[in-house]
Amino acid sequence: MAKHFGIDFGTTNSAVVVYDDQRKSFTRIGEKGPIPFPSVIAVDNLTQEVSAGQKVKDQIITLREGGMHLVIESVKTILDSDQLWTTPARTWRAGDIASELFRALAQRAEEDNNPPLREAVVAIPIGMNADKRATLRSAADSAGVKVLSFISEPTAAFIAHSGELRHCRYAVVFDWGGGTLDISVLEVKSGCIIERYTAGSPKAGDYIDDLLARWLHSQISETHGLTIGFDNVAPEERHILLNESEKAKRQLQQEDATQAVIELGRYAGLTLVAQTLTKATLNSILEDVVSGALEMLLQCVEAARVSQEEIGRLIVVGGTSQLSLLQRELRQRWPHPNIIFPREADWDIARGAAWVAAHPGCYRMAESIGVVLSDDQFHAIFPVNTKQESARSTLHFGLVEDATTATFNFAARNGDERATHIGELHTPCFGFRDELIELDCHITSDLVFEANADSEAKPQRKRSFKYDMLRWMYEVPGSDISQENP
Amino acid sequence: MRSNLKLRSNVYLRKRSVALQNDEAFLGQVRGESAVGKLLGMYGIPAGHRRHSDSEVIALFRQNKLTQRQLNTIKWELRCIRCDCIPIGVSFRDVVEFRCSEPGCAQSSTPVRSVLIPDSILAGHPRTTGWEQILSGAIQSCRGVLPEFSTEQPRTRIVVRVAPTADWLYSDSELSAFIVYGLKHQD
């Protein structure tokens, strides 16, 4: 296959990038040129026809108000929920919605004369739990897209800039998107990218839009004598204000823009309302959020026990990182000339994922996982550096007490540090006797440690333990992406 | 607030190809009165001969088939044969007590021991009765912690009634040390 796909399945927007192995070039697949694909779908209640992306986003209010469509946004955040949506013909789960988004992305790729999107590397945020990963994989599968592997978003962003990071031992990825702010301190060691420290915050693009909308509401209330609170405004009108706030925010990021005018057809009983937002006001509203984000960045670097001087590059990606206030403040508070503000911040993660699809590396464990024995000693099941695909082991245990339950305490250990308890597994036994308990352990392709305990005397009582928060390092193959950028 | 409880693992690695009785590393981890009792049974020790002071048990300990901890388990966790509780243990006052509430508990019948006391000590405190009060008073004032031994010769054997707890816990020479302490610190 000469073309390889990488997908950044985002909360607010999703991006697909194709890497052409022969031409050594990347192609973006999104909406209207440089805009990624909005992660929103609408289902027609009558025909069950599904539409997605920008056309739904543009008419979201009309579709919602019309009552003839089921409209769902930000499905990524609720992939592990039991939430159900119903249309007259069927019931929808979060996985079904995600599947429709994958289908829409595949269709969009084909419209641009690309080969069918049948397999891809999908970027996921750090800390995405096992259930969400499994749902995402199965959703992609139902849409006919095989997930070759998952790659963490900061690692994908790092890979997208690996040419500029060739001699760096440490790098920081500051990924400020629509749904979250994720900061990762990465270390490059023996050809592996290690996530040394990560931190996250929900104060991102959507939160900023909400702040702006609330400020605009207060201004409109003051001018027109409104007494109704923002939260009590009709949902569709509130949604319009949020959309207009986002547009104004984007507009004011242009270098020559000084003010934006927000015009609303009707709002809280008023008609034809207009409100001006200046760049200075926008910056004063965002001051605390930006300052908080930068504070988090500095704390994250400190917690990673790396000095700022040791950080080779600071890569700033994600839609919200385009805020001019952030860029200005960052240059002041990060006094090192090593910040990378990519021109296509929205696409870097998908670009890194596409490159990984063409040059698959492998995951190795960045910490040991094991079981604490009855004498409180840590016994590593999979030591540091174990490859994900070869992580499979069967161990035998015996019960040292005359109890009817065997207790396995699992722990993770980083270097010489004390082992940290991560959970336990209880399996029924007959008591102290010649009874072997088999512990079968492996690491799934979704990077989840799974252990199944099974007493030979009670084979029907198998019990399982899963842990999805292991620390990984990604071994990058030798090729250099910088030579292959368009 | 951090929890101060810890769920302890009760499993240890077994060698699949090695029979249980030969898996020394595993057997050394066996704990708890019931499991240690089964372990003794596996070594062919009959139920009536599983006291810590029984020669078969001591022989196993000398052959390294029983650890010190497992020996202590037998010492401390002997069940009352009537109510099945473990009547000997450390009370909240931090002293070892015999706590079985069964009036006819077989453990509560007062045993008798004979111990050697240096003649020089006996000469200073001539008495022939009340040894049990001197012994229990000494154990209480020492809070169960052994006082210094005396190996002075010559010594005379005396017979003393001891509480079941003391009978299980202390050897003859340890009881002697307590009595010597009690005699020295009388009044």
Report the CATH fold assignment for A362-473: Substrate Binding Domain Of DNAk; Chain A, domain 1 (2.60.34)
- Supply the pLDDT for residue A483: 46
Cβ B8–A403 below 8 Å, yes or no? no
Distance from CA of B33 to the nearest CA of A (A): 8
- What is the Cα–Cα distance from A313 to A344, expressed in whole angstroms? 17
Cβ atoms of A353 and A6 within 8 Å: the answer is: yes
| Side chain identity at residue A317, one-letter code | V
Query: Of A80, A82, A56, A81, whose CA–CA distance to A70 is shortest?
Result: A56
Cβ B34–A432 below 8 Å, yes or no? yes
Query: Of A280, A252, A262, whose CA–CA distance to A217 is shortest?
Result: A262
- Supply the pLDDT for residue A400: 93
Cβ atoms of A397 and A409 within 8 Å: the answer is: no
Q: Say yes or no: domain A3-161 is CATH 3.30.420.40.
A: yes
**Taking the CB of residue B71, how many other CB atoms lie within 10 A of it?**
17
| Three-class secondary structure of residue B186 per DSSP | coil
A346-370: b or e for each residue (b if 16 or more CB lie within 10 Å)?
Answer: bbbbbbbbbbbbbbebebbbbbbbb
Cite the beta strand spans of B59-143 per DSSP E.
88-90, 96-98, 112-118
Q: What is the ipTM of this complex?
A: 0.72
Shortest CB distance from A373 goes to which of B12, B15, B16?
B12
Residues of A in contact with B12 (CB under 8 A): 373-375, 397-398, 400
Is omega for the bond preceding B154 within 30 degrees of 0, making it cis? Answer: yes
Closest chain A residue to B20 measured between Cα atoms? Answer: A434
Flag whether pLDDT at A75 surpasses 90: no
Cβ atoms of A443 and A382 within 8 Å: the answer is: yes
Flag whether pLDDT at A234 surpasses 70: yes
| Token pair 């001018």: residue | A223
Domain boundaries, chain A: 3-161, 205-283, 362-473
Closest chain A residue to B19 measured between Cα atoms? Answer: A434
Average pLDDT of B12-28? 91
- What is the Cα–Cα distance from A372 to B13, expressed in whole angstroms? 10
The CATH class of A205-283 is alpha beta
- What is the Cα–Cα distance from B166 to A247, expressed in whole angstroms? 85
Cβ atoms of A150 and A446 within 8 Å: the answer is: yes
Q: How confident is the model at residue A396 (pLDDT cuts 50, 70, 90)?
A: very high
Average pLDDT of B110-139? 81
Flag whether pLDDT at B95 surpasses 60: no
- Identify the residue among A376, A401, A441 best suited for mutation to test binding to B, counting B beta carbons within 10 A and taking the highest: A401
Contact partners, residue A477, CB within 8 Å, separation at least 6? A359, A360, A361
Domain boundaries, chain B: 20-76, 110-184
pLDDT tens digits, residue range A251-288? Answer: 898 878 888 999 888 888 888 888 999 999 999 999 99
What is the secondary structure of A434-447 as a DSSP string? S--EEEEEEE-TTS
Cβ atoms of A183 and A296 within 8 Å: the answer is: yes
Q: How confident is the model at residue A485 (pLDDT cuts 50, 70, 90)?
A: very low
Cβ A406–B11 below 8 Å, yes or no? yes
| Side chain identity at residue A190, one-letter code | S
Cβ B11–A374 below 8 Å, yes or no? yes
